[in-house]
Amino acid sequence: MKRAILIVLDSLGIGALPDAGNYGDEGSDTLGSIVRAKPDILIPHLVSLGLGNIEGVDSLKAVIHPAGAYGRLFEASKGKDTITGHWEIAGLLTEEPFKTYPDGFSEEFIEQYEQAIGIPVLGNYTASGTEIIEALGLEHERTGRPIVYTSADSVFQIAANTAVIPLERLYRMCEIAREMLTGPWSCGRVIARPYVVDESGKRIRTPDRKDYAVSPPELTMLDLIRRAGGTVYGVGKIHDIFNGHGLTQSVHITSNAHGVDETVQAMRESFSGLLFTNLVDFDSQFGHRRNARGYAEALEAFDARIPDILSAMQQEDVLMLCADHGNDPCHEGWDHTREAVPLLVAGKLVKAGINLGTRATFADIAATILEYLDIPERTPIGTSFLQEIVKR
């Protein structure tokens, strides 16, 4: 009954990668920024596992006897977006970054898209999601025209008040965009961004976000585990990121807390394989909104749930905590930052205090999990560190 529980703390970078300057991200440090914003941050369980012992982490104190194995991961792929990061965690290298649209999508595409959905759009520029619904919300609600925007990532986002464009219609608009955004108009993700207007008149995005991603170009860790007969249980937007490939079951979540609840619930079930969770609030609610203190408080809230996760672990469970990119809330702009990410590993079979050093790729996670689950097939990249951490 071997199981790997892999939890991605979405965007928790720990310092700029050597090539961060190529992305405009020199000096970024998501963890450092949130600790500086809340110097009294209380994350004892993450610190105990070894977060402060990781090379390059200067914002937290190291402990003498870490309870877990620890290290940092460099990203080998080009880019700094969610898909690229998760695909690399699952064993794929993205050599060509997804196309981005800093000046908005082409007039030709927008014209054809408007014809396909039967209504003109608003926006079509780079913006923060919370800002653009305030800037264009009234016009959208008056005209019924959907709000289209992008970011530094390869995304086509459609925002709409669900009282104006019902959720199913918004999803259909996204499906049409997904079908069209290929070839010369290629795009990594199409995202539905529904919102409501509360009693005070404030526009609030709902948890009904839905991502429409491209499919992975090769078999990932998820596919290989499923093909070997194992369970691959996705919590959060894992299903969206991999376009459903390799998953045997999945559950949508509305918050980090809900994600931890669903993870713990799944851990109490009997299965062999992989439980893969993404906790997106760190990124969407705090990183993109440049709310460093809120990010710190969200990390404290997750830390407080680590005992629940550890207590649900079975004898042969291996827990891995990592991230998929950075999103320094004190860095310029509103987008992801090119950073190294942390790796913490725990479990009854895991040696405590092992320093895994600096790994050349996120894909070492995939290689390690596949070896641990006794699956002989391997993903295109990744070097297992299993023999360094398992008790003999």
pLDDT (0 to 100) of residue 266: 97
Name the 3-class secondary structure at 99. coil
Q: Give the CATH number of domain 107-213.
A: 3.30.70.1250
Phi-psi region of 290 (alpha: psi -120 to 50; beta: other; left: phi over 0): left
Q: Which fold has domain 3-92+216-389?
A: Alkaline Phosphatase, subunit A (3.40.720)
The string of DSSP codes covering 323-372 is -SSB--TTSSSSS-B-B-EEEEEESTTBPTT-EEEEES-TTHHHHHHHHH
CA–CA dist 217, 185 (Å, integer): 17
The CATH 3.40.720.10 domain(s) of the chain lie at: 3-92+216-389
| Cα–Cα dist 339/13, whole Å | 5
pTM: 0.89
For 263-303, how does the pLDDT look when each residue is reduced to its tens digit (9 = 90+)?
Answer: 999 999 999 999 999 999 999 899 998 999 999 999 999 99
**pLDDT tens-digit profile of 49-65?**
999 999 999 999 999 99
Question: Where in the chain are all domains bearing CATH 3.30.70.1250?
Answer: 107-213
Contact 131, 172 (CB under 8 A): no
pLDDT in tens, 205-260: 998 989 898 999 999 999 999 999 999 999 999 999 999 999 999 999 999 999 99
pLDDT in tens, 343-363: 999 999 999 999 999 999 999
Structure-token pair, residue 151: 């970011």
3-state class of 171 per DSSP? helix
Q: What is the pLDDT of residues 168-210, one digit of tens each?
A: 999 999 999 999 999 899 999 999 999 999 999 999 999 898 9
pLDDT confidence of residue 319: 98
Residue 53, pLDDT score: 98
CB 158 within 8 A of CB 124: no
pLDDT, position 344: 98
CA proximity to 66, closest of 49, 43, 42 = 49
